Structure formats: C-alpha cells, structure tokens
Amino acid sequence: MSKTLTATPPATPKERLWLLGLGFGLWCSAIVIVYALHALGCAFGWRADLLRWGLGLVLLGHLLAIGWPWYHFLKTPVDPALGQTGIFLHWVLIWTLAKAFIALVLTLGPIMWLATCV
C-alpha cells in the first residue's frame, strides 16, 4: 500500500486580507469627510479660500494614505513561501490600491474647481 502525499498550498496570512478593502475604504472615508467638511463650511459661512484649502488638505491626506501602501507593495517583493495565492493577492492589492487612487482623483479632484457654496 503506497501513500501519496499531496502538497497543500501555503495559507495566505489572514492579517493581509484586510488590505483588500484598504484602498476603497479610504476612498469612501474621503468622500464622507470631504462632503461633510463642505456642508459644514457652507452652513457656517466659511470663506471660500479657507474651505477650498481644507478640502484640498483632506484630499491630499487621503491620496497619501492610499499612495503610501501602493508604493510599499510595488517595491516589496512577493513572498515565495506563500505560493501562487500569495502572488495573486500581492498583485490584487497593487491594482486595487491603484484603482482606488485613480477613483479618488476622478471623483473628488474636480470638486476643487467647482463653486464652493451656491
């Protein structure tokens, strides 16, 4: 009787799975914070230049918060011990963060050129 050993792929660490939602979670928080800041600024009659600076700083902070892990994962080599699943997860993280960065620029970038309070 011969025993056959089947190689099971190494498990992907569970602490890395939350990174799948990081980019679009930050994108979502940027939308909420920018629109809340805009509503507060208009409701309390803030000057347009200060409101625009505040919106720009929130936007820039979120772009940095998405761009830093994106840059980190681009520069970090894939851990070969994780196998094909780890390689797939690494590339999915890179492209998810890239898409969230682009979505943030396209959805909130044009707000900077609109009239602040009408």
- For the stretch 8-21, pLDDT in tens is 666 667 777 888 89
- Tens of pLDDT, residue by residue over 21-46, are 999 999 999 999 999 999 999 999 99
Task: Report percent pLDDT > 70 for the chain.
Answer: 89
Tell me the average pLDDT across 73-101. 88
What does pLDDT average to over the chain?
A: 88
Rounded CA gap, 22 and 3, in Å? 44
Q: For the whole model, what pTM was predicted?
A: 0.82
Rounded CA gap, 66 and 62, in Å? 6
Tell me the average pLDDT across 52-63. 95
Residue in the block written with tokens 């700083």: 57
Which residues, 6 or more positions from 94, have their beta carbon under 8 angstroms from its beta carbon?
70, 73, 74
